[in-house]
Structure formats: C-alpha cells, structure tokens
Amino acid sequence: MDPVFKIQGELTRNTYNQVVEQVCSAIAAGASAIDLSNVTKVDSCAVALWVEIKRNNANIEWANLPTQMETIADLVGVDIQ
C-alpha cells in the first residue's frame, strides 16, 4: 500500500461515511499520510474527519488541505495546522 492515501472528489456530509471507511481502511493497510489535493469540494465534515482521524491516529500526516477547509476550521476554532 502506498503510504499516502489520496482522497478524491467531494468531502461533504453526502460523502462523509464513505470517506471515513476509505480512510480507516487505508490507515489499517499502512497509510501514514492523507493527501487532499484531489478534493473538489468540502464542508464542515472535512474538519470533522480531520478531528476524528487525529483523535484516533495522532501520527497521521495531512497534505494539501483545501483553503476552504482551513477557513472552516478557523471559524469553528479548530487548529488544523
């Protein structure tokens, strides 16, 4: 397994459950980083995913966070840097 898992497409409430399953499977298979460069749309669920994964897998690295995700995180007081 590639150590970097790339999330594709939307990361919104409509795709959240599916993305969580994919990310958890990738981590279980050995992924050590999550790349969001191919994410086309986010909402607050993107921040929820970040919080959930960080809580349970603190050593996972994140790459290419969308600007909109950073803005949402700032608005809700979550430091995703």
27 located within any domain = yes
What's the domain range around 32? 4-76
Q: Does residue 57 carry a pLDDT above 80? A: no
Residue 54 belongs to domain with CATH number: 3.30.750.24
Is 31 a member of any domain?
yes
pLDDT in tens, 2-45: 799 999 999 999 999 999 999 999 999 999 999 999 999 999 99
Residue 42 DSSP label: E
* Domain annotation covers residue 47: yes
pLDDT in tens, 63-79: 999 999 999 999 999 88
pLDDT in the model for residue 1? 64
Is residue 81 in a domain?
no
What's the number of domains the chain is made of?
Answer: 1
Determine the 3-state secondary structure of 19 from DSSP.
helix
Tokens of 75: 């608005």
Q: Is the pLDDT of residue 52 over 80?
A: yes
Q: Is 24 exposed, middle or buried (0-12, 13-18, 19+ CB in 10 A)?
A: middle
